[in-house]
Amino acid sequence: MARPLLEVQELKKTFPARGGRQLRAVDGVSFTIERGETLGLVGESGCGKSTTGRTIVRLYQPSAGRVLFDGEEVHSLHGSALRRFRRRVQMIFQDPLASLDPRMTVGDTIAEGMQIHHMGTPKERQERVQALLRAVGLNPEHASRFPHEFSGGQRQRIGIARALAVQPELIVADEPISALDVSIQAQIVNLLERLQQEMGLTYLFIAHDLSMVKHISTHVGVMYLGALVEIAPTDQLYSEPLHPYTQALLSAAPLPDPKVTRTRPRVVVQGEVPSPIDLPSGCRFRTRCPFAMDICSQVDPPLIEVAPQRQVACHLHAARSTAA
């Protein structure tokens, strides 16, 4: 069997906090993404999903754990292997305006990566810029304009063209539609889906809302306070969410299919997310979980496989472990 394109193994990322304490932003996250698939990574603000994405692309060094891209350990790469990784893995950011240099034309912005990676002649790069602008639904004449001349949705299209210019294999999209109008969000998701099919791309698609990742993801992972609490094929996660937190997220986001909305469990959580500097004992969700039991304050439930490709971290499902 071919190895996964991306393997994240027990990844941890801590940041120093006041009083010599540690903020555990990512606290032992593991998942894999096969070629051509999309993992949607979802959770409330501060759950560690963006830090996970940024650590994968080497914007952060991990505190512990490993990230393997096509079998190679990402944070040990040097020289030409690192340059190759930087071409093969690209990131799309939430705020397209902040991620585009206001002094560079759109054409130069898109061509910059190709220049850095010595791809093609100046004429070939120019032709590729035109082709990419067409591919993302913009006019090739837009190459001579500046980012401020475009709408938010158009700027995100420019960000996508820039990421695609160097022919990447994996794209880490960090909340790429959260800052856009609802009417534009579906257009960008459809564009990313079409480009994935045409170019055989693999995506890690980070979002704070389960409804945003449903259509584009083959699998969905749900994060809470730095940990993955559930990961499953998309259909199964939406039709039968197992973790109480996933159930709560789905209860809060009505889905277009009324049959699914009627049959799935309704779970409402109370209270605020605890601080990642001071995690609750045992299960990190127990302070808000309507099903918390005695064991939940004593033992942190591990993420266990309860069915093929389905993993959940909750004592309610420990008896379903396929390892038992």
Q: Is 200 in the site for ligand SF4 (CB under 6 A)?
A: no
* Cβ proximity to ligand SF4, 119 vs 316, nearer residue: 316
Q: In the numeric block, which tokens belong to residue 232?
A: 């499953």
* Cβ proximity to ligand SF4, 47 vs 283, nearer residue: 283
Chain Cα centroid distance, residue 86: 18
Q: Is 289 in the site for ligand SF4 (CB under 6 A)?
A: yes
Binding residue for ligand SF4, selected from 24, 125, 310, 315, defined by CB under 6 A: 315
Shortest gap between Cβ of 162 and ligand SF4 (angstroms)?
A: 40
Q: Which amino acid does the sequence have at 9?
A: Q
Q: Is 242 in the site for ligand SF4 (CB under 6 A)?
A: no
Shortest gap between Cβ of 21 and ligand SF4 (angstroms)?
A: 24
- Site size toward ligand SF4 (CB under 6 A) is 13
150 contacts 136 by C-beta, under 8 angstroms: no
Binding residue for ligand SF4, selected from 292, 306, 310, 311, defined by CB under 6 A: 292
Q: Residue 159, CB half-sphere, CA atoms under 13 Å: how many?
A: 29
Binding residue for ligand SF4, selected from 285, 306, 310, 311, defined by CB under 6 A: 285
Q: Which amino acid does the sequence have at 74?
A: V
Range 179-198 burial, b when 16+ CB lie within 10 A, else e: bbeeebbebbbebbeebbee
Q: Is 250 in the site for ligand SF4 (CB under 6 A)?
A: no
* Cβ proximity to ligand SF4, 132 vs 314, nearer residue: 314
Q: Is 273 in the site for ligand SF4 (CB under 6 A)?
A: no
Q: How far apart are the first and last CA of the chain?
A: 25
Q: Which amino acid does the sequence have at 154?
A: Q
Span from 109-117, 158-166, 186-194, 312-320 in contact with ligand SF4 (CB under 6 A)? 312-320
Binding residue for ligand SF4, selected from 13, 87, 219, 286, defined by CB under 6 A: 286
Alpha-carbon distance of 62 to 11, in angstroms, equals 7
Q: Is 249 in the site for ligand SF4 (CB under 6 A)?
A: no
Q: Is 244 in the site for ligand SF4 (CB under 6 A)?
A: yes
Shortest gap between Cβ of 301 and ligand SF4 (angstroms)?
A: 5
Written in H, E and C, the secondary structure of 164-181 is HCCCCCEEEEECCCCCCC
Q: Is 306 in the site for ligand SF4 (CB under 6 A)?
A: no
* Cβ proximity to ligand SF4, 225 vs 283, nearer residue: 283
Q: Is 283 in the site for ligand SF4 (CB under 6 A)?
A: yes
The sign of the torsion formed by the CA atoms of 75, 77, 83, 87 equals negative
What residues contact 155, with CB distance under 8 A and at least 6 apart? 96, 97, 100, 147
What residues contact 54, with CB distance under 8 A and at least 6 apart? 60, 91, 174
Q: How far is CA 187 from CA 183, 191, 259, 275, in A?
A: 8, 6, 26, 36
Q: Is 303 in the site for ligand SF4 (CB under 6 A)?
A: no
Q: Is 316 in the site for ligand SF4 (CB under 6 A)?
A: yes
* Cβ proximity to ligand SF4, 144 vs 298, nearer residue: 298
Q: Where do contacts with ligand SF4 occur on this chain (CB under 6 A)?
A: 244, 283, 285-286, 289, 291-293, 296, 301, 314-316
